[in-house]
Structure 1
Amino acid sequence: MTKLHSLTHEFVDFVPEQLEPGTLYVSIRYKSASHLCCCGCGEKVVTPLSPTGWRLTYDGKTVSLSPSIGNWNLACRSHYWIERNRVEWAETWSRQRAASGFARDIADKQAYFAPTPIEPSLPEAGNVKRTPLLTFVRRFLKRSAK
């Protein structure tokens, strides 16, 4: 197994069935980036692009993926960054640290996709003519808040 230190990138609609070593396939249409593991083990690595997944940066010549790629579920357990088409190798995480990272990722996704509570708001008293309905709603909201 020969570790890679750089990649080329290719923008595609569909990721090919057979991936070429050293090529990062980016599908904007399907919001994903795929490549063969940079350690040389030959395993396919798919990184979903999303606000809670990986972010792709394209500067017109090179691509970067963030955060790092930790292949904790693969036999190789490789860990690296893709920065401007370069592969920057990082330390392998312990199983405990990887599990903690998975838990944090799940919590981040749940927080991101959680419904935003809607708080009732009323106009300032000085800006609105008091009506019996408005007085009732204000009293109701004050009691509900207690």
Structure 2
Amino acid sequence: MKMLQHKFVEFIPHKIEEGILYISLDYCTAIHRCACGCGNEVVTPISPTDWKLSFNGKAISLHPSIGNWNFECQSHYWIKNNNVEYAGRWTKEEIDVGRVQDKNHKTQYFECDQSLSELPAKPIKTKARIWSTIANFFKLS
């Protein structure tokens, strides 16, 4: 397969047709049949720690590449402007390193998110407080 058509849907259909990339923005998910032709369904969650979707008004791109390491085919490709661009095969070691990097990226992302919510709330200076500080300054002079 060299090209995918894109189709925006609310719900992912029960029957996934070959050659179509279904995108549900409501559920932040894209799905298609593996580009190698093996027939497996490839789910790509769209999120800050998974895939990013670009749409230029005519074509779809997904980033990063799609590595189907859990499938027998172990196909590896990019979807750029609706075109399938095959990438080189990865060794088991490269796959393992990639999985560790993905896990670390997710851990860092969610730890950062959590640490922000744990920060103590700082009082926000309001205009009234600023003006009262200025007024007090002039009263003391």
Q: Which TM class, normalised by the smaller chain length?
A: 0.7 to 0.9
Q: Distance in 2 between matches of 1:40 and 1:32?
A: 21
Matches within 5 A, 1:32-111: 32-111=29-108
- Measured after TM superposition, the shift of residue 95 of structure 1 is 1.1
Q: Distance in 1 between matches of 2:63 and 2:122?
A: 39
Alignment pair present for 1:15 and 2:29:
no
Report % sequence identity. 46
Secondary structure of the 2:65 match is strand
Question: Normalising to structure 1: TM-score of the pair?
Answer: 0.78
Secondary structure of the 1:98 match is helix
- Measured after TM superposition, the shift of residue 116 of structure 1 is 2.1
Q: Distance in 2 between matches of 1:119 and 1:94?
A: 46
Q: Distance in 1 between matches of 2:104 and 2:90?
A: 19
Q: How many pairs does the alignment contain?
A: 121
**Structure 2: gaps (5+ residues):** 124-132, 134-141
- Measured after TM superposition, the shift of residue 96 of structure 1 is 1.1
Across the aligned residues of Structure 1 and Structure 2, the Cα RMSD in angstroms comes to 1.8
Secondary structure of the 1:116 match is helix
